Structure 1
Amino acid sequence: MERMQTIQFQGQAGSIDCALDWPTSPTPSGWALILHPHPLHGGARNNKVVTTMSRAATQLGLVAVRPDFRGVGKSDGQFDQGQGETWDMLAVVEQFQSQFESLAQGHFVLGGFSFGTSVAAQLYSLLAQQQQRLPQALVLAGCAVERFRFLESLTIPTHTYLVHGEQDEVVPLSESMSFAQAHDLAVHVIPEAGHFFHGKLILLRELVSAQWQLGLLRNT
């Protein structure tokens, strides 16, 4: 059985409460950081899309880290439009890698859903700017990067995987397409899927798993 534990890291606004989902394999091969949707609209680490992405990670032998953004659950602080949240996640990366050195030496992948895509994309960019180790894969589901972007420029790898519901009622497919055009990316569209991928979560898990599996083959 997979097991879950909670752990706290320290961000700019105080404690960041995280769930760690451990794979069944006795020696995990690395870790995944998975970021949840908008905190003011019910977004939290137990969101079904986030837990689906977590399952994709644990099935690959990765420890999945699911933080609650500031002001959600037991995490301190208040919603900060993506800016404070991005710096918090940079702190999570640094502190996780310090506390779990063996996992930090293994694989590292990054994913986000909706609001979490903006934080994930900007986190990747900050890691690149600071010449820190980069995730081997970046998965953005229901891409809303530009809605909460505060960085002047983004570093988006060519292997970034965008997956979007054809009938997304929260973030229109056209928004994801515009982001893809700006960064020369492809978009995987799931027919008849809405924003929360109801009825399509098993498919989403398989797609994310496949992309992360490809990422594990990269040396970044």
Structure 2
Amino acid sequence: MPEVIFNGPEGRIEGRYQPGKEPNAPVAIILHPHPQFGGTMNNQIVYNLFYMFVQRGFAVLRFNSRGVGRSQGVFDHGVGELSDAAAALDWLQALNRESRGCWIAGFSFGAWIGMQLLMRRPEVEGFISVSPPENLYDFSFLAPCPSSGLIIHGDRDRVAPPESVQKLVDKLKTQKGITIEQQIVEGANHFYEGKVDTLIDSCGEYLDRRRAEIAAGGGR
């Protein structure tokens, strides 16, 4: 898993990159939680999501947004972090020009950034949003949500309470042409203490199922 440095809007960005198993392997980008609350690319959920995609042959990138680790710049309340994510996806796609398929996964603050990036990138075929904090950030930009995806969260989450995530799911489910799947991890708090394996297994099962549907000619 090579350490990589690439150029972002505010200077260098530090990441970890695993090439795909085939030249046309799908790509995935993983986005970390809030930097001001200790969120980095080494967060255990980000790390495990990264390897979930690696194990399925994807070319995968996780990275530190501006001001985190060795990435230059300072925290920008989501605006700059979205620009960093776009630059990271550009870098990943430039390395994988023959790639078939693009996915975005994010945890908490990273889910918010990831869903904004989704709106800008029509080539994204799917997303995984872990514990999106609908109560803390404005998700009204998802109008309409451009691709199908998974929203997964814990029933004991006090940071992103189940009722607020439910509001987001209910809003997105009214859109035609896409399918938002919701899964609830029983007994899980925001950090999935003791439930990380359950979370990753659920995400992996969803990814396998969606990839099979897409390969069979299913919609977005």
Structure 2 partner of 1:18: 15
Tell me: CA distance 1:172–1:10, structure 2 relative to 1, closer, same or farther (3 Å): same
Aligned 8 A contact 1:139 1:160 in 2:
yes
Structure 2 partner of 1:211: 206
Structure 1 partner of 2:186: 191
Structure 1 partner of 2:71: 75
Match of 2:107 among 109, 113, 119: 113
Structure 2 letter corresponding to 1:8? I
Structure 1 partner of 2:176: none
Structure 1 partner of 2:154: 165
Structure 2 letter corresponding to 1:107? G
CA positional deviation for 1:207: 1.1
CA positional deviation for 1:44: 0.3
In the alignment, structure 1 residue 54 sits paired with structure 2 residue 54: no
Tell me: CA distance 1:152–1:53, structure 2 relative to 1, closer, same or farther (3 Å): closer
CA positional deviation for 1:160: 1.7
TM-score (norm 2): 0.86
Structure 2 letter corresponding to 1:140? S
Tell me: CA distance 1:162–1:151, structure 2 relative to 1, closer, same or farther (3 Å): closer
CA positional deviation for 1:107: 2.8
Structure 2 partner of 1:201: 196
* 4+ long deviations beyond 6 Å: none
Structure 2 letter corresponding to 1:171? A
CA positional deviation for 1:28: 7.3
Q: Percent identity?
A: 26
Report which stretch shifted further, 154-163 or 195-204: 154-163
- In structure 2, stretches of 5+ residues that fail to align are 174-179
Paired positions, count: 209
Tell me: CA distance 1:212–1:186, structure 2 relative to 1, closer, same or farther (3 Å): closer
Aligned 8 A contact 1:28 1:61 in 2:
no
Whose RCO is larger (CA < 8 A, sep 6+)?
1
Report which stretch shifted further, 208-217 or 40-49: 208-217
Structure 2 letter corresponding to 1:106? R
Tell me: CA distance 1:37–1:60, structure 2 relative to 1, closer, same or farther (3 Å): same
Tell me: CA distance 1:107–1:189, structure 2 relative to 1, closer, same or farther (3 Å): same
Structure 2 letter corresponding to 1:216? R
